Structure 1
Amino acid sequence: MNLFFKTATWAGSGLVLFPLALIIAGILWLRGRAADALLVSGGLLGAFILVHGFKRLFARPRPNVQDLLVSMPSDFSFPSAHTTQAAAFALACAMALSRHVSTTAGLLIWGCLGLTVLLVGISRVYLQVHYVSDVVAGAVLGAAWVLTLHRLLKWADPQF
């Protein structure tokens, strides 16, 4: 389980998600889907900015644990940046990608991305670098930001 969760936690890392978001947004942009491209890229970037602002605002220390499986991140604990980023990226991608596919493919997209977010959140607690409340707050923050951005994009372009 240790290796599994050490691997799963990377699905919420900015080092993985930012290049992936740029590739997906670029493809969407080239296909004439500028609003979807903005949802994916802006969803992740906005979540990144918000989560790090909230970390400084709340300044909650990380769990005090001995014998960690990974090195303890140097920033604050609340909310979980990995979970926030994973939730924002997954929701933005699911909204953008499932819009133009069959119902079955859409459900598969939503299911896979939702499972990924769940595994990222569980991995952060399993690896003992976050409290459960950090992970829950991160998921809510990421989803709330993407839903807000979606509403703003829809307001700017009612056909979106």
Structure 2
Amino acid sequence: MLKVLIAEDGAMLADCLEDFLNWKGFEVCGIARTVDEAVSLADLHRPELAVLDFRLANGTFGSEIRPRLEDKITMGILYVSGDPLKNVLTKLDGEAYIQKPYRLNDILWALGAIRKIKTGIPADTTSIPKGFHLLGVPGVPDRHVS
């Protein structure tokens, strides 16, 4: 069972995502509203995957999480945001982002794609969700997989 961390300051959205992921066989190791909470949960539970809202509580950003982790490489990161994140995030920040509004099945697909990327398996590119973007190398804009 894959462990997933959720960092989302919207309580209803976080709870809905947690219920859905649990139902689909993931183990949600916690929900964080802030960067500090997310870093603590990630360092304690070592999840394989994370769904991070780009804008978190207290004016912080999900992109502040990875640099503060004890293990900066292992956890696959999917950002979610209502904001277009093109030219904002790079591969150093995570693997991909998806724009809100998204469908829960889109998150499921995206987490599967990120898991494959992290294990060196090519991701399925036949049913890419709307608004899904892979993050490229530092200094290079993201790219939409199509």
TM class by shorter-chain length?
A: under 0.3
> TM-score, normalised to structure 1's length?
0.26
Structure with higher Rg: it is 1
Higher relative contact order (CA 8 A, sep 6+): 1
User: Which structure shows the higher helix fraction?
Assistant: 1
